Amino acid sequence: MKELELKYGCNPNQRPARIFMREGELPITVLNGKPGYINFLDALNAWQLVKELRQATGLPAAASFKHVSPAGAALGLPLDDTLKKMYFVEDIELSPLACAYARARGADRMSSFGDWIALSDECDEATAKVIQHEVSDGVIAPGYSEAALAILKTKRKGGYNIVAIDPSYQPAPVEHKDVFGITFEQGRNELKFGDDTFSNIVTRNRALTDEQKRDLTLCLIALKYTQSNSVCYAQGGQLIGVGAGQQSRIHCTRLAGNKADIWQLRHHPKVLGLPFRPDVSRPNRDNAIDVYISDEWEDVLGDGVWAETFTTRPEPLTPAEKKEWLSKVTGVCLGSDAFFPFGDNIERARRSGVTAIVEPGGSIRDGQVIETCDKYGIVMAFNGIRLFHH
């Protein structure tokens, strides 16, 4: 098949719409549903991310995409009991791939609502069971077991979007994009990352662990497929905060840092112990947790409101409790798709427990940025690589 007609483009008024190959056959097969224009943008960007993560780490990988940027991405590392509770997978026997998607979805569950999923490996039954209980638009993977396919086909009243992609497909080395009737052409971003990516450490602290290198690599690969400007926070083999598409670098750092802080606060015993009514759905639980953690907690705990969500009225998570919990966070990694122009980015990242950073370097204020890292004992590597994506 050389082309696939679509219902419409980005918006219903944008017709006609299709995806097609100038040469050769499309490397995808729609197994179920009718994916749209934005679905395929998410699917193809997300697939590149997880395929590259798999190649770089040797571990299964998954991504949760929304509007052509990852809300989360992760590796197939085991989940402890706290993470299982946070991600609502306590009752599922998890495979490594299922762990990867649970982690990817769990990075920012609010943003992942209605996501597009990418899986680096054949979707197995365990992963399908995790997907089954989440609100999602579709999934792309190199294949599906019979049991997984049967489960996924029950979603959205049988209309769930399921796409298979040929894992051996290699795109042309030059890519094109039309804007306002004008064609842009550029070489594909084929940069790969390895240990030499972190060889230029510019801070006094020069100790990078293998786990930090893994998480920094995860950040860099995710940044390749995140709308710029962008910054990623990662910990434990998964993204925990993504700041995408901001005009200001500090706004990227703040946005991603705030998301990372919410992820950390979801570990708090008060949050894990929230007494939800059994009839409250997962999306409504996620929304309630987000509000409970925020300064607008009265919206879910106020008189006449709390009983809609909880069996008993929880005590608020106070600002002092949040500050104390976050003050203990450490071991977070951060990647940036371009250089930090000011030390304020480091100040903000440090408050979210960042201890290792990778960025291109090249700012006229690199000295100030390095000095700020040294003040907190943060290790920072300049990789000399800008990773803008549009």
- The enclosing H or E element of 199 equals none
Q: Of the residues 39, 229, 345, 383, which is catalytic?
A: 229
**Pair 84, 120: CB distance under 8 Å:** no
Three-class SS state of 46: helix
**Pair 74, 239: CB distance under 8 Å:** yes
Reading the block at residue 278, the tokens are: 């059994």
What length does the chain have? 390
Would residue 157 show up in a list of annotated catalytic residues for this protein? Answer: no
Would residue 224 show up in a list of annotated catalytic residues for this protein? Answer: no
Strand partners, 6: 17
Would residue 268 show up in a list of annotated catalytic residues for this protein? Answer: no
Would residue 229 show up in a list of annotated catalytic residues for this protein? Answer: yes
Cα(165)–Cα(75) distance, rounded to whole angstroms? 20
| Gap between the terminal Cα atoms of the chain | 28
Name all contacts of 131-137 with Cβ < 8 Å and 24+ positions apart: 131/101, 131/155, 133/88, 133/282, 134/105, 134/282, 135/282, 135/283, 136/160, 137/39, 137/42, 137/161
Alpha-carbon distance values, 27 to 4, 141, 161 (Å): 11, 12, 16
**Pair 243, 337: CB distance under 8 Å:** no
Q: Of the residues 67, 85, 153, 267, which is catalytic?
A: 67
Q: Of the residues 39, 45, 51, 66, which is catalytic?
A: 66
Q: Which residues are catalytic?
A: 66-67, 229, 390
